[in-house]
Structures are given as C-alpha cells and as structure tokens.
Amino acid sequence: MDIPGLPARRAALNLIDAVLRRGETLDQAGGSALARVGGDADRALARAIAGEVLRWRTDLDELIDSATRLPLAPDAKARAVLQIMLAQVLRLETPAHAVIATGLPLLMGGPRRLAHGVFSTLTKNGVTLPDVPTLPEDVAGRWGVRAEAIAAGLAEPPPLDLALRYPEQTAEWAERLGGTSLMAGHVRLARGTAVEHLEGFRDGAWWVQDLAASLPARLLGAGEGRKALDLCAAPGGKTLQLAAAGWQVTAIDNSKRRLERLRDNLRRIGLEAEVVQADVLTWEPEEKFDAILLDAPCTATGTARRHPDVLHRIAGRQIEDMTAIQEKMLERAAGWLKPGGRLVYAVCSMEPEEGEEQADKVSLTPVPVTASELPEGLAPTAEGWVRTDPGMLADVGGLDGFFIGRWQK
C-alpha cells in the first residue's frame, strides 16, 4: 500500500517493538527498522515518534485505557498503534487526519474500527498529556525521592552541547554559533541543529558532548605532558578532552567500530592519542599512569532524555550484570596508577548500585570534588562525589545523569 508517510510509521512501530519485546536499544533497532524508510526526514520522523511513545508511554496508556470498555492487552498491536497515533497528535502536533491516514493501515486485518473509535473519542474530547511524563512504577521506585524532579527533566529531548578544543575561546564560539555557555569550554545550542553544517565542525573547533559527560575528564585537570589512561574510551569525547588538556593519552576500548569513530574525531580535531583495541578486563599495561579515567560500561539510565528506551529496558538483572563488570574494572584500574596518581570513575547511570555503592568499595584515598570545579548551580555531595540528573539545571536545558568519584593513590 503506497501511502505517503506510512513507512515511517511502520518503522516507528518496529522500533518500539524491538525495545519492548527484544530489549534492544533504539540505536540497535534502527538498522533493520529503518532499512525500508527512504529519506533522512522520514527516518528522523520514525525515531521521533518512537522516542515520544517511549517517553510518554505510561501516560499514553492511561488515555487509551480511559476510552476502552475492556482493556487492551499490554502487548496488543492496537495499543501500540494507538500510542503512535496519540504521540503524533499530542507531542508532534501532526494533524489528526494525517495520523488516521497513516495509522489505521498498520492494523490491516486487525481491529481498525476499535482503534479509530478510541482515537476519535480521545481527540474529540480534547485530551492532553501532563506537563511531566509519568515514570514506569519500577523506575520511579529505583530513583526514589528525586524521581519526580528527574521526570520533569525528561519531558523534552535535550539541547545540543559542544565541548571546545580551546576553552579560552568560549565567549567567541558562543556568539558565533548563537548559543549559551554554562562553563568554560562549553557551548549549548537548541536541539535539531545539523551538526555537520555548523561553523567550526570541519575545522575541529569542537565536538559534541553532553555537559555532564564532560565533567569526569575536567576533574583530572591539566596534563602538562603526563600520562593518562582512558578506559572504555570510544567514541572519544573524554580522550579528546584529555589530549586537549595536555595529557599523553592511551585510549582503550574493545569495539573496533567505535574506535574508528574515535580516530576520526582525533583527526578532525587535530589531536593525538595512542589508541588500543583491547578488553579492559584482560589487558595489561606496560607502564603505570599519572591519571586514569574509567567511564565504565553501565545501564546508561542517565541518558533517558535522549534515549527514553532505557526507561523500559533496564531492570534488576541488567543492573547486577553491570555492577559486577564495574567492580572488576575499578579494581584493575586502581592497580595501574603511579603513587600520587589520580583515578576518576564515572557512569552515566541513575542507579546507586553503579555509582555511590561502587565508590564505597574503592580502597584509594578520596579526593573530594569542589563546587568551583562544577558548573554554576551544581554542588558536590557531602562525600565529595558528583551526582547529576536530568532534573538539575532544568531552567537552562538540563543535563544527563552521572555519578563521578575521584581518588588518589
């Protein structure tokens, strides 16, 4: 059936199914789900629809259930199609007639009349979504007292953050790009910007990096020619930061594909690092280091603003698996420090098991982070750690969720 826009909606349906049924990330699912969608605009639309459904799924389901005499099964295709249709009207401001024309054909041979009736009832009644998305019950329980504030930070996809090659040029680049800055070496732009077309991209003046993700490398300070080890380094934002700060960097990652991106970024920015493909759990260095940055594999729940699939994929088993890996990596990394060397451990996770509870196990001497090392509006915890979440700095665009700790040997 040749209906304009239908392939994008079908791809969105497949993306959501891959996340909810197979536990894939949106990025992992994109290759097959988007293969038959022509044009960048339609592929972007499919991703946007899927993202909004996953961001607001709990609230969309509540609306659907309010308009059905008997509840649809949680995995019913009609429910998924209605989620897609409602997300377009309520979040993407797609005209209702276009939503119907591209939504009901997804139910060929299925309950099209039911879906049409539910959708029409809800839209005629002028239903709306709340200002803040409702978190899945298990997620809200894990995130505790901060859950409501975090949810407020998930209502919109994030802005675009850039890390500058030369922090002393912050004011200049903020003006040239029409952005704002929350600390030296950072510029924030409105979302939706085409990165490759921005001034300075080809010249290597900056790279894309969330503000919170830039904090771990900042906490190691100036390198002054000393040697730093960046573990789990790809795609390379922290490697670039360390090299730009004067460190001699050895970057380790076990993904050949992601390391190619790291090398590409090094070439574009005009920086150097030793790049090694290896597994951190089996690799052994030939020397010890003045600084080690371990941005460990994690559940990535702190990236829910841009990857709302984590709200539905991550549960206890994944958290347990990650904490076991993190503990082993932390133990190994601590042994690779020179006397007086510093270790920074970071995870882009909201889960205390991956952050605070891991930090409690480190046998090195803590080096508390100070408020002067952080963007205005953030403060270290009482222990001297850094804990960020999407509800922080919300009035200026928010930031990802991270835990960061620092120690010295």
Report the residue count for the chain.
409
DSSP alpha helices (H): ranges in 181-223?
Answer: 211-218
Active site residue 232: no
Burial class (CB in 10 A: 0-12, 13-18, 19+), 185: buried
User: What are the DSSP E strand ranges found in 29-181?
Assistant: 160-164
Distance from C-alpha of 150 to C-alpha of 385, rounded to nearest angstrom: 19
**Cis ω before 130 (30° cut-off from 0):** no
| 3 state DSSP class of 397 | coil
Please pick, among 182, 348, 386, 399, the residue that the annotation labels catalytic: 348
Q: Which residues, including other chains, have CB under 8 Å from residue 308's CB and lie 6 or more apart?
A: 51, 54, 55, 154
Distance from C-alpha of 373 to C-alpha of 391, rounded to nearest angstrom: 20
Whose structure tokens read 């826009």? 5
Is there a contact between 397 and 306 (Cβ–Cβ < 8 Å)? no
Token pair, residue 222, equals 């100036």
- Give how far the C-alpha of residue 140 lies from the chain's centroid of Cα atoms, to the nearest Å: 18
Q: Please, how many CA atoms are within 13 Å of residue 238, restricted to the half-sphere of its CB?
A: 31
State the catalytic residues. Answer: 348
